[in-house]
Structure 1
Amino acid sequence: MKVKKIPLRMCTGCMEMKPKKELIRVVKSPENEVSVDLTGKKSGRGAYICKDKECLEKAFKTKRLSRNLDIAINEAIYNRLREEIGNE
């Protein structure tokens, strides 16, 4: 039986490689709209963040999420991420 390969992605907060299912995806669509993608299937440029408040705050302070997506991210997206992490 073949061993299934688990896709890994890097968290923009702690810069650690983790399984894709453990991370939250933030996506910039081709129309330059930034949104939180809980399904992981929206088209566009994606960046990943751990389900950890410390990682989110670190990514916010260093503006890594903005740099990875190459667009300014407004406070509403960060608030939505905080909400999603709080629900976990």
Structure 2
Amino acid sequence: MKKRKVPMRKSVVSGEMKPKKELVRITRSKEGVVSIDPSGKMPGRGAYVALEPKEVQDAWDKHILDRVLETTLTDEFYQELLDYVEHQKARKELFGNG
């Protein structure tokens, strides 16, 4: 059986290349609306962050996503992202790769 290629993406916080499934995509639409993209297929400028709460906290503290997406993000958005990452990490630990 032929081995499938695993899509790799770079985290904007750590700069590490990781499999796409281990990252969460944040998008900025043409209208300037920033949102979490769980499917990874929304249109717009995208940035990837690892599913690690510490990495999201670093992005929040240094406002890395603000610079990468060329916009100003609220603390509420960063909190929502942190909650989402913690939830996804807990799911991954409970259910494995599912």
Give the TM-score taking structure 1 as reference length. Answer: 0.89
Unaligned runs of at least 5 residues, structure 2: 90-98
Superposed counterparts of 1:60-71, under 5 Å: 60-71=60-71
**Deviation for aligned residue 1:82:** 1.1
**Could you report, residue by residue, the CA deviation over 1:20-40 in whole angstroms, capped at 9, with x for unpaired residues?**
111011100111100011111
**Deviation for aligned residue 1:7:** 1.6
Aligned residue identity for 2:38: L
**Counterpart secondary structure, 1:25:** strand
Aligned to 2:94: none
The 8 Å contact of residues 27 and 35 in structure 2, kept in 1 or not, is answered as: yes
RMSD: 1.3
Aligned residue identity for 1:62: K
Aligned residues: 88
**Deviation for aligned residue 1:2:** 4.5
The 8 Å contact of residues 25 and 37 in structure 2, kept in 1 or not, is answered as: yes
Unaligned runs of at least 5 residues, structure 1: none
Which of structures 1 and 2 has the bigger CA Rg?
2
Aligned to 2:36: 36
Aligned to 2:24: 24
Give the TM-score taking structure 2 as reference length. Answer: 0.81
**Deviation for aligned residue 1:12:** 1.9
The 8 Å contact of residues 24 and 48 in structure 1, kept in 2 or not, is answered as: yes
- Identity of counterpart residues, as a percentage? 36
Relative contact order, higher structure (CA 8 A, sep 6+): 1
**Counterpart secondary structure, 1:57:** helix
Over 4 Å off, 4+ runs: none
